Amino acid sequence: MLPWESLFAQDDSKIIFSRSILVFFVALVCVLLLQFLVSKKLKLSVFSESSVTLMFGIFLGGLVVAFTKHQTSSAGYLGFSSEIFFYCLLPSIVFNSGFHVHSDHFFKNIVGILNLAVIGTIISTIIVGVGVYVLGYILRLTVSLTFMEAMTFGALISTTDTVSTLAVFSELKVDPTLFYLVFGESVRSS
């Protein structure tokens, strides 16, 4: 038995976590290379970057299901946990956004950003929360929630993920004011 074969034979939770991270980053590098080849080298614009990434994820997920169907430990090996999200995915997203920000545009639009981030989110939370409460508790058209549950749901739904919008904005090279208003509002929800 070779020395590294014993490493892959272990079932320690840290080893399984490390394997999951390795699989994730290899898949991410493959997606980035594929996206670069399709959009920059081949000049194909049939699919957007998001579509290519989504198709690759579906393909990779299908392979995982096909090859690990008979194994009982496949869910633990390739499961998605909060540790993977908070230690691997979230820092890369936040640091990438912060690294690419032009501070002069950002701080020039800080009043608009704060208006969207604070006042806009409060208004959206109230509208969605009261709407869900009225539809469920009073009109009995949806699931009945207490007022606090409905407002919590409204706050959850009011934070938007604008990553794809920002990607389109940077590809189209929109006005920096619009870009940084949306960017600043999205940083608030992170």
Question: pLDDT for 146-159, tens place per residue?
Answer: 999 999 999 888 77
Nearest alpha-carbon partner for 181 in 172, 169, 171: 169
Other beta carbons within 10 angstroms of residue 150's beta carbon come to: 23
Residue 80 has pLDDT above 60, yes or no: yes
Nearest alpha-carbon partner for 77 in 32, 15, 27, 156: 15
For the chain, give the mean pLDDT: 75
Give the largest Cα separation in the chain, rounded.
68
Indicate the pLDDT class of residue 23, thresholds 50, 70 and 90. confident
Are the C-beta atoms of residues 130 and 150 closer than 8 Å to each other?
yes
Helical residues (DSSP H) of the chain, grouped into ranges: 3-9, 13-36, 49-68, 74-78, 82-84, 90-99, 103-108, 110-114, 121-133, 147-158, 163-172, 176-189
Q: What is the pLDDT of residue 79?
A: 60
And the tokens for 19? 């394997």
Q: What is the pLDDT of residue 69?
A: 64
Q: What is the pLDDT of residue 74?
A: 46
Q: Percent of the chain having pLDDT more than 70?
A: 70
